[in-house]
Structure 1
């Protein structure tokens, strides 16, 4: 069954947010590497922990997008129901 337009938009939004988190985590990992190379290991490790949280969020958003595609989550007007 094809997705309704609101569900297509929801899935696209979730995928976009997941992509933004992934890009941000990659950039932060580069910063962490530079911090580590500069001898600031404490801050580098803090940034890496932030990246891990962001990557977990990315995974959740991607899973939600898959659930929208499978019809387990749908947008109904301004509300999302599962």
Structure 2
């Protein structure tokens, strides 16, 4: 069964309500007797690495030619 509290009580007991929600209890904050929000733990977000399947060619790690380096540094501009 959900624990329903009004906004004023929620302000006074926020830490207690957060702990209850983290324990898995359903906590609802109501305004004028109508449910307004539900407190629940945030689900951890995971990032999946390797979702793009590609290979980096060995040439990627080779030094750049002098002309290209100069272009990167704006040395070839007229």
TM-score tier, shorter chain, comes to under 0.3
Larger strand share, 1 or 2? 2
Q: 1 or 2 for the larger relative contact order (CA 8 Å, sep ≥6)?
A: 1
Answer with 1 or 2: which has the greater Rg. Answer: 2
Q: TM-score, with normalisation over the residues of structure 1? A: 0.22
Q: TM-score, with normalisation over the residues of structure 2? A: 0.23
Larger helix share, 1 or 2? 1
